[in-house]
Structure formats: C-alpha cells, structure tokens
Amino acid sequence: MSLSEGDTAPGFTMPASFGRTVSSEALKGRPYVLYFYPKADTPGCTKEACAFQEALPQLGHIGIEVIGVSKDKMKPIEKFAGKYGVKFPLASDETTGVAEAYGVWVEKSMYGRKYMGLERSTFLIGKDGVIARIWPKVKIDGHAAEVMAAAKALG
C-alpha cells in the first residue's frame, strides 16, 4: 500500500447510490470513513455494509460520514443498497482511479489464477483531509466497531 497514516488523502469525485455524488471537496472540514469492498451483494461485502449501516447512528452522532467504494457499475450498487437498506453512499469507481490512488487496486490470486481486484481496506480521514488510520486487508468481524472506536478517538 502506497499511502501511510499522516499522508494527505487523495482527492476524489464519484457517482454514488441513489443519484448522489461523493467528493473529497464536499467533505472538506468533516471527518469520514472511506472503505473499499470487492463486489456488491457478495457475502463478505454484505456483512461489512450491514455492519457499517448498523454503526451509522453512532458514527453520525460523532460527525463521521461513511462512504463505501467498489468497482461495480451503479445499477448493481443501487440494487445492493436497496436490498439491504444501506443509507450511506455506495460509490462506483468503475475506472479504478480512486482505488489506484489509495493503493488498493492490487494483484490478487485465486486457485492459481492472478487477476487485478480491490483489496478490502478502510481509511479514516480526519477533518483536515489527513489519513488518521488505515486498515489494510480488512477482516470483517468486529471491523466496524474498531473503526468507530478510532473515529471517536479523533475527537
């Protein structure tokens, strides 16, 4: 991963679920969580999105926005968000430009076959636009709670 905690978060603008657009510019001065997930409506990604959705009231209470990012096109993303009641923006990074900027578009391998894909990773970005925490290769169980604890510590 090319980014480190303390680095300025790369800028982005992406289309997001339900006709929204998310951008680093619009989030200036507010802390946020940017998490990358491999594919909408797969078991792990569903579990992760639902965990963040569950944590949303507490995260919102401390002023933290949550944005999920995948390479999926908008149609499957919107279907996924609707099916599971995901209220926070799920953004589409079809060109993988944002994933590349964050260093999470990586070579993966399954059954001996190598391919490029999104590495499940989460970034906590402070209101100053600086990366406060990075969770590479996320294990889903307990992850949203861990992110919430770190977000609360941001102050």
* Catalytic residue list: 45
Using CA atoms, how far residue 106 sits from 21, 41, 53, 98, 138, in Å, is 25, 21, 26, 12, 14
Distance from C-alpha of 91 to C-alpha of 93, rounded to nearest angstrom: 6
Give the β-pairing of 32-36 and 121-125.
antiparallel
Using CA atoms, how far residue 37 sits from 32, 104, 138, in Å, is 16, 10, 9
